[in-house]
A and B are shown apart, each in its own frame.
Chain A
């Protein structure tokens, strides 16, 4: 509870709402104790006194009644009616929702159809019908407003209850012989309480506003009884001659509703865990680059050259070092594999190249990415955008989530072409068909009219590849492009990529967690662990003579076809959290060869010209 309040008041607007609302509530509560004039004492001689006149702080109305007094008494009444309506709507609506959700089946069906019918009415219209039937009056207005809000609660609470009703603890309670009533009261109700609170906090403002509205129309409180709405309604006829009589109650309604809304938003944000982490921040068009220290000098390695790259995620006070001093390059026509478990930083390395790491929270804090010697991390947005897809293109893992679901695949391909070439639509379309053919999609002419959800996983990934090829890039970064596919399709996609590489002299960086894939496609391979490269070398050398114990373990994870019933070795333990790394080798806690020396100081990536490893007890000496 205290944690909740802390969270709530960290939100400045919610705190402001709470302060204003408390002030109004306290005023309303102590109104009978204040030395106020009689709110109904008519003194026609004192009509329309302006505010700040003697004895009438806020002036008087058309019958000479003291406005301050009427305002406070009216506020009291409006608040009471609104809150009472909210309580009725919440309890009746929640009861209906829980019953529908808990019993399910036909009960649920009948109740929810009825609720749907009620929701088919434009909101206030239904309230008007109810008031029409019951007759004008504050109690009837209250009933009407409560009634039209019941469906909202019923629907929300039913949704939550349905989710809970199938859970084990409900079954357990049933098996323990508890009756329906007791299960609902002791097991379900406590669990839906927070939803009810959220729903109430977001609607009570509305209900106060709506009851005031009905009174304003003359359908709510009847004289001499006066809530804020009827005070405002009566003042309307004197709007032009004595505007203060309208402004005073109007501003009060506004303040009440606004403070409740602000507080309600705060309550919802504090209770809804999805919003709590600030998950809804928008990633920028380019990853934020805040390099500390010197930018590494250009060395003439490779077409694309990643130098001492550091990418971090800043989440609250924590810093996750997702990529730590990674250097990697690729030459034209070469395929380099980057391999590691999930969370090793391989994807973040790949996305950092073209500034595609979501930021916030991602920040590139060091290193350089050189394409043809130009440092991409220093490039302007426009120059980077011009290179995205044209010089360096990406193929992503799951084409169902990485293709836009609402655009035809052909249009997405045409867009990729037109992003870099101002060609007419028809020409781009012809090129798109040609690309589809190149990635061996059958019937390309009709296939380009498909939406992503109308294609199989393998076909979608071919679209992804075609899109990457659209502008004849020099480098393709493939981020686990075959992981979501089944094995036969995987093999087809790999051979397709290999063909394209040979035909067009592409440089490929291939991100994967699968040594089998690396063996099939890559000339060189870099093994990543906890954000660092732990071993790098020619694929064959590493496959035959892995130096780092982690590499060896990772290779043992690959089942060999026809290898018989060999037990698949999983690596014991979990990859470390990259915000809290121990000194020394990050793999030491999971390594059977680890000694005390492994757990202190920086271990360098050392070895021969072509084969290096970051280990002081390598499986094979590198000399």
Chain B
């Protein structure tokens, strides 16, 4: 197992390099002169030259890439001009908030989605199945940002059950309970689409598995139907569900951009949008690379979980 984890970690290196190359190339295709773009009306020749020197834009492109990569490896993501602080510090501050939001949301989506899918498959064409299928269709079609706004309207403004936005109350907040109260709406709004997708896939994975010969064997042994479904069938279905969980984690992580804006959540997503609007490219670049790298590592975790579940995978 240790060897397998090591192997997967090593195989992540080219992917991480690829990610940096892609981000670098995207940033390099900025039309016109980036220094002018950054400076806007302050673009005097001296300022442009200074920015070019600061950003190393006067060097050849390949050299620039390696300088940038080398700096990042030492934790130097550059300095954000709009915030006037190191990009890396800002990302670390912001990422923990995103991680809380996306993490809770992802766990919620996985649990609810798999449960709904399994119930739906076990009661195929029954009332529960029809209800779940219908809810799922609505769930995967509703824009998360619109859903979030409607939640605010209903639960915060009209019913006054939950705070409108933010991560902690400004006065007297800061404890766990306060965080949970602030987290309920954004985490649910973010989870809805992923829940729907996971439920859908779990349902079809379960139906596929329930037709297998080894399910008939379990029944022929006299194993109770509940155990047939929750044990035998679900275990096999997880083999096809887990990779989708990995993909959905990416959707949840990046979908938090919208939710962070709607709920004023102090996360990386909102930071990125602000940075884009302020043309703070170093912050964008650093944020994108950082989040993408985290996602790569998460996918390694998914692969390892998969190999623990399925002994046929060569470890």
Among the stretches A47-55, A131-139, A153-161, A185-193, the one at the interface with B is A131-139
- The verdict on A200 contacting chain B, using a C-beta distance below 8 Å, is no
For A134, the chain B residues whose CB sits under 8 A away are 29-31
- The verdict on A550 contacting chain B, using a C-beta distance below 8 Å, is no
Q: Give me the interface of B with A, judged by CB distance under 8 Å.
A: 15, 18-19, 21-23, 26-27, 29-31, 37, 121-122, 124, 137-138, 140-143, 145-146, 149-150, 152-153, 157, 204, 206-208, 210-225, 228, 232, 235-236, 239, 249-251, 253-255, 257-258, 261-262, 272-273, 275-277, 279, 281, 284-285, 288, 291-292, 295-296, 299, 309-312
Partner of B250, one of A122, A218, A406: A122
Distance in angstroms between the alpha carbons of A332 and B299 in the assembled complex: 57
B309 to A243, Cβ gap below 8 A? Answer: no
- The verdict on A459 contacting chain B, using a C-beta distance below 8 Å, is no
- The verdict on A306 contacting chain B, using a C-beta distance below 8 Å, is no
A124 to B257, Cβ gap below 8 A? Answer: yes
- The verdict on A606 contacting chain B, using a C-beta distance below 8 Å, is no
B146 to A128, Cβ gap below 8 A? Answer: no
**B142, B143, B204 pick with most chain A CB within 10 angstroms:** B143
Given known pairs A240-B157, A405-B236, the reply for A132 and B220 (CB within 8 Å) is: no
Nearest A residue to B129 via CB reads A282
Partner of A386, one of B27, B219, B222, B285: B222
Distance in angstroms between the alpha carbons of A285 and B250 in the assembled complex: 37
For B149, the chain A residues whose CB sits under 8 A away are 232, 236, 239, 246, 250
For A282, the chain B residues whose CB sits under 8 A away are 121-122, 124, 206-207, 210-211
A–B pairs, 27, beta carbons within 8 Å: A117-B21, A120-B18, A121-B19, A122-B251, A122-B253, A124-B254, A128-B254, A128-B284, A132-B281, A133-B281, A205-B141, A216-B258, A217-B258, A236-B149, A240-B152, A240-B153, A250-B146, A280-B208, A285-B228, A390-B222, A393-B220, A396-B220, A402-B213, A403-B217, A405-B310, A405-B311, A471-B222
Distance in angstroms between the alpha carbons of A250 and B146 in the assembled complex: 6
- The 5 A-B residue pairs whose C-beta atoms are closest, nearest first, are A117-B18, A258-B141, A250-B146, A389-B222, A124-B254
B204 to A280, Cβ gap below 8 A? Answer: yes
B295 to A121, Cβ gap below 8 A? Answer: yes
Partner of B222, one of A257, A351, A387: A387
For A209, the chain B residues whose CB sits under 8 A away are 143
Among the stretches A94-102, A315-323, A413-421, the one at the interface with B is A413-421
Nearest A residue to B211 via CB reads A283
What is the 8 Å Cβ interface bit string for chain A, positions 217-248, against chain B (1 contact, 0 not)?
11100000000000010001001100100110
A125 to B146, Cβ gap below 8 A? Answer: no
Partner of B153, one of A118, A239, A419: A239
- The verdict on A388 contacting chain B, using a C-beta distance below 8 Å, is yes
Distance in angstroms between the alpha carbons of A136 and B152 in the assembled complex: 27
For B204, the chain A residues whose CB sits under 8 A away are 280
The binding surface of chain A is classed by DSSP as helix
- The verdict on A289 contacting chain B, using a C-beta distance below 8 Å, is no
Distance in angstroms between the alpha carbons of A253 and B145 in the assembled complex: 11
Partner of A117, one of B15, B140, B254: B15
Distance in angstroms between the alpha carbons of A250 and B258 in the assembled complex: 14
> Smallest CB–CB gap between B83 and chain A, Å?
16
> Smallest CB–CB gap between A24 and chain B, Å?
13
For B250, the chain A residues whose CB sits under 8 A away are 121-123
For B19, the chain A residues whose CB sits under 8 A away are 117, 120-121
- The verdict on A83 contacting chain B, using a C-beta distance below 8 Å, is no
Partner of B311, one of A125, A389, A401, A406: A406
A451 to B291, Cβ gap below 8 A? Answer: no
For A257, the chain B residues whose CB sits under 8 A away are 141-143
> Smallest CB–CB gap between A159 and chain B, Å?
15
Distance in angstroms between the alpha carbons of A114 and B37 in the assembled complex: 29
Distance in angstroms between the alpha carbons of A54 and B171 in the assembled complex: 45
For A415, the chain B residues whose CB sits under 8 A away are 218, 221, 223
4 more contacts with CB within 8 A, not counting A13-B137, A116-B18, A420-B222, are A117-B22, A125-B291, A402-B214, A453-B311
For A236, the chain B residues whose CB sits under 8 A away are 149, 262
Nearest B residue to A134 via CB reads B31
Partner of A120, one of B15, B253, B275, B312: B15
Distance in angstroms between the alpha carbons of A131 and B254 in the assembled complex: 14
Nearest B residue to A217 via CB reads B273
- The verdict on A254 contacting chain B, using a C-beta distance below 8 Å, is yes
A261 to B292, Cβ gap below 8 A? Answer: no
**A129, A218, A401 pick with most chain B CB within 10 angstroms:** A129
For A122, the chain B residues whose CB sits under 8 A away are 249-251, 253-254, 291-292, 295
A213 to B145, Cβ gap below 8 A? Answer: yes
Partner of B288, one of A129, A218, A239, A285: A129
Distance in angstroms between the alpha carbons of A471 and B29 in the assembled complex: 71
Q: Is the interface on chain A under 10, 10 to 19, 20 to 34, or 35 or more residues?
A: 35 or more
- The verdict on A354 contacting chain B, using a C-beta distance below 8 Å, is yes
For A113, the chain B residues whose CB sits under 8 A away are 18
- The verdict on A593 contacting chain B, using a C-beta distance below 8 Å, is no
Given known pairs A118-B22, A356-B219, A406-B235, the reply for A401 and B214 (CB within 8 Å) is: yes
B222 to A232, Cβ gap below 8 A? Answer: no
Q: Give me the interface of A with B, judged by CB distance under 8 Å.
A: 13, 113-114, 116-118, 120-126, 128-136, 205, 209, 212-213, 216-219, 232, 236, 239-240, 243, 246-247, 250, 253-254, 257-258, 261-262, 279-283, 285, 351, 354, 356, 358, 381, 385-390, 393-394, 396, 398, 401-407, 415-416, 419-420, 451, 453, 467, 470-471
For A133, the chain B residues whose CB sits under 8 A away are 26-27, 29-30, 281
Given known pairs A258-B138, A405-B236, the reply for A396 and B276 (CB within 8 Å) is: no
B216 to A250, Cβ gap below 8 A? Answer: no
A285 to B251, Cβ gap below 8 A? Answer: no
Nearest A residue to B29 via CB reads A133
**A280, A358, A381 pick with most chain B CB within 10 angstroms:** A280
A253 to B143, Cβ gap below 8 A? Answer: yes
For A451, the chain B residues whose CB sits under 8 A away are 311-312
B222 to A419, Cβ gap below 8 A? Answer: yes
B272 to A128, Cβ gap below 8 A? Answer: yes
> Smallest CB–CB gap between B164 and chain A, Å?
8
For B219, the chain A residues whose CB sits under 8 A away are 285, 356, 388
**A232, A247, A282, A420 pick with most chain B CB within 10 angstroms:** A282
Distance in angstroms between the alpha carbons of A477 and B157 in the assembled complex: 67
A116 to B141, Cβ gap below 8 A? Answer: no
For B221, the chain A residues whose CB sits under 8 A away are 388-389, 393, 415-416, 419, 467, 470
> Smallest CB–CB gap between B274 and chain A, Å?
10
Distance in angstroms between the alpha carbons of A219 and B257 in the assembled complex: 12
For B214, the chain A residues whose CB sits under 8 A away are 401-405
For A117, the chain B residues whose CB sits under 8 A away are 15, 18-19, 21-22
For A250, the chain B residues whose CB sits under 8 A away are 143, 146, 149-150
B223 to A356, Cβ gap below 8 A? Answer: no
B143 to A116, Cβ gap below 8 A? Answer: no
Nearest B residue to A213 via CB reads B258
For B217, the chain A residues whose CB sits under 8 A away are 394, 396, 402-404, 467
Distance in angstroms between the alpha carbons of A282 and B215 in the assembled complex: 11
A131 to B143, Cβ gap below 8 A? Answer: no
For B153, the chain A residues whose CB sits under 8 A away are 239-240, 243, 246
Distance in angstroms between the alpha carbons of A231 and B208 in the assembled complex: 43
Distance in angstroms between the alpha carbons of A238 and B292 in the assembled complex: 34
For B207, the chain A residues whose CB sits under 8 A away are 280-282
Distance in angstroms between the alpha carbons of A205 and B143 in the assembled complex: 11
For A246, the chain B residues whose CB sits under 8 A away are 146, 149, 153
B142 to A254, Cβ gap below 8 A? Answer: yes
Distance in angstroms between the alpha carbons of A406 and B273 in the assembled complex: 45
Distance in angstroms between the alpha carbons of A388 and B221 in the assembled complex: 6
For A407, the chain B residues whose CB sits under 8 A away are 232, 235
For B140, the chain A residues whose CB sits under 8 A away are 261
B15 to A261, Cβ gap below 8 A? Answer: no
Distance in angstroms between the alpha carbons of A135 and B9 in the assembled complex: 35
For B138, the chain A residues whose CB sits under 8 A away are 258
For B211, the chain A residues whose CB sits under 8 A away are 279-280, 282-283, 358
